Structure 1
Amino acid sequence: MSTLTRPNHIGRKISRIRELKDMKQEALAQALGTNQQAVSIMENSETIDEEKLIQVAKALGVSVEAIKNFSEEGVINYFNTFTENDFSHSQGTNFGSNNVCTFNPLDKLIESVEENKKLYERLLQAEKDKIEYLEKLLKEK
């Protein structure tokens, strides 16, 4: 029986998650402190002991439950939630189109320009005060 037809083939699920994360077997092996051959054997195993599964989940940056519940259909459905909403807008370039700006960006720009102007004036005054103080010191000598 092919591993693709077995819904609870943990090794195959680990392999698919690793591939989706664009991780090679060698990289996973290094994270687990083992070699590529051991990862290959693990990915061909239908079951894996819980302790090893915890280590693999940590190395992949996912939860043990994510590995156990992984399905190709779930991944497809997950990505479809992005595209179904986004392509209904204009030309599909509105990824994350639910963002709403709660302020006027031009107002914020003007505020920052005014703040910079005030800082510059304070710096200029400090320099004038310093020059005045230095001139005073020179006259006293």
Structure 2
Amino acid sequence: MSILTKPSHIGRKISRIRELKDMKQEALAQALGTNQQAISAMENSETIDDDKLKEVAKALGVTVEAIKNFSEENMINYFNTFTDHSAGTFNNHCTFNPLDKMMELVDENRKLYERLLESEKEKNAYLEKGFKEK
């Protein structure tokens, strides 16, 4: 009995890497000299020829191996180790914990909400005082 493994969907990997790089299909299309519809079709394809894959990798600033071996679990390692510096791109290393930054933003948002709520309470008290005087 043989176990068949599901083939790797290279188009989905390209799509995910493009999204992680905060790049729209139109931007990738422009870098490849094509249109957005062609990028959409490529991202829906299970396979892509090697020459096209090299062009896409260069446009995304990663290596062909990074695309072929991409997985959600290992994405940070791929972006840190497979960046193609010969293409003139540089890998930015994160010097902070993104979760800490997110929690700082949550706290800041909470404080702003509390200030807004206090301001609304003061406004309501002022209006009530004005109505009572009339």
Q: With structure 1 as the length reference, what TM-score do the two structures score?
A: 0.50
Structure 1 residues 113-132: aligned runs within 5 Å: none
CA distance in 2, matches of 1:33, 1:47: 20
CA distance in 1, matches of 2:62, 2:53: 11
CA distance in 1, matches of 2:55, 2:78: 25
Q: 2:28, 2:39 within 8 Å by CA — same for their partners in 1?
A: yes
Please report how far the alpha carbon of residue 7 of structure 1 lies from its aligned counterpart in structure 2 after TM superposition: 5.8
Structure showing greater Rg: 1
Q: 1:31 to 1:78 in 2, by over 3 A?
A: closer
Letter in 2 for 1:35: N
Please report how far the alpha carbon of residue 51 of structure 1 lies from its aligned counterpart in structure 2 after TM superposition: 0.3
- 2:115 aligns to what? none
Please report how far the alpha carbon of residue 73 of structure 1 lies from its aligned counterpart in structure 2 after TM superposition: 1.1
Structure 1's consecutive aligned runs of 4 or more residues displaced over 6 angstroms after TM superposition are: 76-79
Please report how far the alpha carbon of residue 22 of structure 1 lies from its aligned counterpart in structure 2 after TM superposition: 0.1
- 1:65 aligns to what? 65
CA distance in 1, matches of 2:59, 2:35: 14
CA distance in 2, matches of 1:48, 1:76: 24
Equivalent residue pairs, number? 80
| Identical residues among aligned pairs (%) | 80
Q: 1:27 to 1:76 in 2, by over 3 A?
A: same
Q: What does the per-residue CA deviation read over 1:28-62, in whole Å, with 9 as the maximum and x for residues that have no partner? A: 00000000000000000000000000000000000
- 1:40 aligns to what? 40
Letter in 2 for 1:64: V
Which residues of structure 1 form unaligned runs of 5+?
Answer: 1-5, 94-141
- 2:18 aligns to what? 18
Which residues of structure 2 form unaligned runs of 5+?
Answer: 1-5, 80-92, 102-134
Q: With structure 2 as the length reference, what TM-score do the two structures score?
A: 0.53
